[in-house]
Amino acid sequence: GVAMDDSKVQAVLRWPQPSTLKELQRFLGFANFYRRFIRNFSTVAAPLTSMVKKGVKQLSWSSAAVQAFKLLKERFTTAPILHHPDPEREFIVEIDASSTGIRAVLSQRHGDPPKLFPCAFYSRKLTQAEQNYDVGNRELLAMKAALEEWRHWLEGAKFPFTILTDHRNLEYLRSARRLNHRQARWALFFTRFDFTVTYRPGSKNTKADALSRQFESEYQPLSPDPILPSTLIVAPVQWDIVTELTELQATSPPPADCPPDKLHVPQALRERVLQLVHCNPSSGHPGITATLQLLSNKFWWPTLRSDTVNYIRNCETCCITKPSKQLPAGLLQPLPIPQRPWSHISIDFVTDLPPSAGHTTILTVIDRFSKSCRLIPLPKLPTALETAETLCNYVFRFYGLPDDIVSDRGPQFTSCLWSAFKCLNVNISLTSGYHPESNGQSERLNQEIIRFLRSYCHRNQADWSKFLFWGEYAQNSIRKPTGLTPFQCVLGFQPPLFPWSGDPSDLPTVNTWMQRSEATWNAAHTHLQVAIWRQKRFADLHRRSGPEFAPGSWVWLSTRDLRLRLPCRKLSPRYVGPFKVIRQVTPVSYRLALPSEYRISPTFHVSLLKAAGAPRGADDLDEVWEQGPPPLIIDDEEAYRVNEILNSRRRGGVLQYLVDWEGYGPEERSWVNAKDILDPSLTAEFHQNHPDKPAPHPRGRPRRQQPPHVRSRSQGGGSVTIPTSVVPPQSPPE
């Protein structure tokens, strides 16, 4: 090894206390030559180096400076023997930083059993500018300085070396989503080295931690230990689990049936190994087969396959991002066949049509027995009261009140007005959310009407209302699955459109008319049974039996029809949740316990659901809904951290931003007024990346005065203040 010259050590011990600046500079220069032998050199010598700053004309020995001079001489006598760096062995770099300096230890394992021995020490005092760095940047500075100091040993090393730190977030540096200019330069420098950042608690990181903690308390209190801003963290990049398993296997022999070329993983480490192999970006959340292949290359334990299957089935990332490759769940459930015309109807709207004679919407009504329809043009999408009045004027006064009305879950059909129809013995059947197949007859009629109007109005689209009654006549004149036309099924004959189109016939008696109508309905009912059986047989070829969810179980909800306010649909999660099942509504639909922020119907078809495990630590529903962090309190106002700004718009002349809240899911993103954004760097970065989006007016225009609770200074990670009158406590703004 390498040690200091004993004669030089004795000279230091006899060194008198300097009385001039030149003498102090001479002592520090001599001591600096041996600083690689002395732990915490920069911190110990800090009171002395501050005495030789530019502008100091004479020495003024304080008690701290005298103590530092004595302590530094004592360190010369206790300096350890340094081992020569061996390029055939793996290097270990231990780093640490404090508010006054940065330190590092270069070590290697020697002996049998292998033990760590120091090869070199490094420490230096932080400059005045570097002392203004936050703790995360000081830790990164310690890493960069250590790699620069020992670059001749570490760059191009034969084996990947390990950097030990007592700050876990340094593991996430290489997967950071957003870096400032300084961090980007350092990250580029780090790419020249092959290393793994491994977290080790401060209680175990004794060497480097001692360099930064042993004497610091004499000069300056310790700083708290937050590291990188949480907005930079994505996922760990590397993890040195193999070393830990190897050391464990040396002290605890594996089972006899463990293959000799595999590492046995004990029960306590299995989940960590599964996370390393399955969640690492280099593997990319593979499926069960691929994960088993990756695991079996290095690891073994008796329940490897079953543990892998359970882990992947409960992997949240896989559950919300991977689409289902199975057939849609839920076999076809046909609606009951009515016994007479217009006793059971289905209604829907055709919207977004061009204005035609003051109309932009069509109310479609279809009789589920005869397939007869009514097409009613409307000036706009009606309210619940207007819908009820339209049905009374155009349907109910001709055919009477129906027994059942099937509709989707639009606001026109979910209001209290429609609930009042139950007093008239009219049942309102609402379809499950985002499953238009439940109201298939209306959806099919809408398609046919659009096709008809397109055929005659593709040149002049404003004429569609003129052709609408022809479309209704055409639909009621076409033979349906009943074996009859809707006119024949309802009226008993096909109404002639022209005087010569029908054959003259005698009027039947009342009894004959009743008998003929009853026979017609019976025949239509038989034909409908055959048609529905055939339809179900073919539809079920492309479906599978749906899973049954017991009340209290948990499910994922498909985002296929949800508005998640995401910039790119292709990169959006496929599922959200999990949510608790309240009850089974029909054989193929379930009611879920959704947070109030969703503002959608909680009843969903089974094809939109898939089983999920209960969230960890969630004993009741509220714990799952309140997974997001609590609000910050800034000037006695609640504020939430902003993860990212996604979009901008103007509403009523006010600039608004679509905000992704830190700690909350994509379904809770919301629009926020620009004046409430506290961190101007967030909006500046957004407009730099999206110059075409609405932006603040140029300087020079009059600006509206901000409310007193809004502050324009930057907050870490970005924050936005939301008045409590707008946003309820403990939930992000909606």
- Domain assignment present for 279: yes
CATH of the domain at 48: 3.30.70.270
CATH of the domain at 255: 1.10.340.70
Select the more confidently predicted residue: 393 or 245: 393
pLDDT tens per residue, range 247-278:
666 667 777 788 877 888 888 788 888 888 88
In this predicted structure, the answer to whether residue 625 has a pLDDT above a threshold of 60 is no
- Domain assignment present for 672: yes
Provide the pLDDT for residue 413.
60
Whether residue 115 is found in the same domain as residue 225: yes
Whether residue 620 is found in the same domain as residue 705: no
- Domain assignment present for 511: no
pLDDT tens per residue, range 558-571:
887 777 666 677 77
In this predicted structure, the answer to whether residue 616 has a pLDDT above a threshold of 60 is no
- Domain assignment present for 523: no
Listed residues 210, 232, 254: the one ending a domain? 232
Our measurement of the distance from residue 200's CA atom to the centroid of its chain's CA atoms, rounded to an integer in Å, reads: 29
In this predicted structure, the answer to whether residue 501 has a pLDDT above a threshold of 70 is no
Q: Max Cα separation, the chain?
A: 138
Whether residue 179 is found in the same domain as residue 133: yes
3-state secondary structure 295-360: HHCCEECCCHHHHHHHHHHCCHHHHHHCCCCCCCECCCCCCCCCCCCCCEEEEEEECCCCCECCEC
pLDDT tens per residue, range 88-127:
889 999 888 887 788 888 888 887 777 777 888 787 888 8
pLDDT tens per residue, range 209-244:
433 433 233 333 333 333 334 333 333 334 456 666
What does pTM read for this prediction?
0.44
Provide the pLDDT for residue 8.
59
Whether residue 224 is found in the same domain as residue 133: yes
Our measurement of the distance from residue 523's CA atom to the centroid of its chain's CA atoms, rounded to an integer in Å, reads: 56
Computed from CA positions of residues 72, 75, 76, 77, in that sequence, does the dihedral angle turn out positive or negative? positive
Select the more confidently predicted residue: 706 or 526: 526
- Domain assignment present for 379: yes
List, in order, residues 6 or more apart from 72 with CB less than 8 Å away.
31, 38, 41, 44, 45, 48
| Helix, strand and coil in the chain, % to nearest 5 | 40, 20, 45
In this predicted structure, the answer to whether residue 398 has a pLDDT above a threshold of 80 is yes
Provide the pLDDT for residue 420.
66
Listed residues 562, 595, 624: the one ending a domain? 624
Q: State the chain's mean pLDDT as an integer.
A: 73
SS3 676: helix
Whether residue 38 is found in the same domain as residue 98: no
Angle at 458 between CA 453 and CA 462, to 5 degrees: 75
Whether residue 218 is found in the same domain as residue 262: no
Q: Give the CB-side neighbour count of residue 104, counting CA atoms within 13 A.
A: 23
Whether residue 355 is found in the same domain as residue 486: yes
Listed residues 624, 653, 672: the one ending a domain? 624
Question: Pairing state of beta strands 263-264 and 299-300?
Answer: parallel
Whether residue 251 is found in the same domain as residue 300: yes
Whether residue 113 is found in the same domain as residue 181: yes
Whether residue 156 is found in the same domain as residue 225: yes
Residues of the domain holding 361: 344-499
Query: For residues 458 and 450, what is the distance between their CA atoms, to the nearest angstrom?
Result: 11
Total tally of structural domains belonging to the chain: 6
Query: For residues 593 and 575, what is the distance between their CA atoms, to the nearest angstrom?
Result: 16
Select the more confidently predicted residue: 620 or 361: 361
CATH of the domain at 490: 3.30.420.10
- Domain assignment present for 165: yes
Whether residue 130 is found in the same domain as residue 222: yes
Provide the pLDDT for residue 434.
59
- Domain assignment present for 527: no
List, in order, residues 6 or more apart from 306 with CB less than 8 Å away.
none
Select the more confidently predicted residue: 388 or 542: 388
Provide the pLDDT for residue 504.
56
Whether residue 159 is found in the same domain as residue 281: no
- Domain assignment present for 338: no
In this predicted structure, the answer to whether residue 677 has a pLDDT above a threshold of 50 is yes
Provide the pLDDT for residue 276.
81
Percent of the chain with pLDDT over 70: 69
